[in-house]
Amino acid sequence: MKSGHSENKGFAARTFILPAIALAALLVAYAGATIRAVQADDAKPAKSTQDGVYTDDQAARGKAQYSQNCATCHLDDLSGSGQALPLSGDAFMQSWEGQTVDDLFEVIHDTMPQDKPGTLTPEVTADIISYILKYNKFPSGKAELPSDAAALKQILITAKKPAAAPTSGH
C-alpha cells in the first residue's frame, strides 16, 4: 500500500512541477524579449543621413579617392558592374536603408578595393562614404563625417526625413 501512495505522490509532483517549469521558462523568455526590446530602443541611432553628416570639402576629397580606388569596378556613375554593387540610386538604398553608416564603413574599409582589401585608411573610407552620400543627394553639413565606429553607429542611412517632434503650440 505504501508503494501505491508513493507513486501517487510522484505523479502529483510531476503533474505540478512540469507545468511550473514550463511557465517559468515562458516568463524568462518574455523577460528576455522585453529587455532586448528596451535595449534596441536605447540603441537607435541619434542622427540620419538626412542631417548633413559630411562636408562638401570632404565629399570632394572622397570623389578623388573614389576615382582612384573604386571607379574601376563601381564605375564613374556609381552604378556598379558585374559583382560590384551599385552605390547610388534605388539599388543602393534597397541595400543600405535602415542600416548605420558604420555598417557601410565596415564593408568598404574591410573588403575594398577588391584587389587590395583593407588598404583604405579610416579617413579615406569616411571621405569615400561622404562622396557616396553626396552623389545620392544626401545633404551636406558643417562637420565632417567621422571615421570612428562609435560615432558612425549613431548615423542611420535613410532616404526619409525624420519626423519632426510635435509642437505644443496652438
Select from 84, 127, 138 the least CA-distant residue to 105: 127
- Averaged over 97-101, what is the pLDDT? 97
Residue 160 amino acid letter:
K
Q: Do 88 and 4 sit in the same domain of this protein?
A: no
Q: How confident is the model at residue 160 (pLDDT cuts 50, 70, 90)?
A: confident
Q: Assess whether 69 and 142 both reside in one domain.
A: yes
What cell was used for 146? 567621422
CATH value at residue 80: 1.10.760.10
- Name which of 142, 120, 136 is nearest 56 in CA terms: 142
Instruction: Please tell me whether residues 31 and 55 are part of one structural domain.
Output: no
Asked if residue 29 belongs to a domain, the reply is: yes
Q: How far apart are CA 45 and CA 102, in angstroms?
A: 11
In whole angstroms, give the CA distance from residue 76 to residue 30.
Answer: 50
Q: Are residues 66 and 98 in the same domain?
A: yes
As a whole number, the mean pLDDT across the chain is 82
80 and 22 together in one domain? no
When pLDDT is cut at 50, 70 and 90, the band that residue 52 belongs to is very high
Please indicate, yes or no, if residue 162 is contained in any of the structural domains.
no
For 102-129, what is each residue's pLDDT tens digit?
A: 999 999 999 999 999 999 999 999 999 9
Give the side-chain half-sphere CA count within 13 A for 30: 6
Same domain, 68 and 112: yes
Indicate if 54 and 27 belong to the same structural domain.
no
The pLDDT of residue 44: 80
Q: Per the domain annotation, does 161 fall within a domain?
A: no
pLDDT exceeds 50 at position 151 = yes
Number of domains in the chain: 2
What beta strand segments (E) does the chain contain? 47-48, 155-156
Question: Is 166 contained in some domain?
Answer: no
Q: Are residues 93 and 145 in the same domain?
A: yes
76 within domain boundaries: yes
Residue whose cell numbers read 523577460: 31
> 24 and 76: one domain?
no
Is 164 part of a structural domain of the chain? no
What's the whole-model pTM score? 0.71
Where are the alpha helices (H) located in 43-121, listed in sequence order?
56-69, 71-74, 89-96, 101-111
Residue 83: which domain range?
47-156
90 and 20 fall within a common domain: no
CA dist 105 and 129 (Å) reads: 7
For residue 34, is pLDDT > 90? no
> In the Cβ-directed half-sphere of 76, how many Cα atoms lie within 13 Å?
0
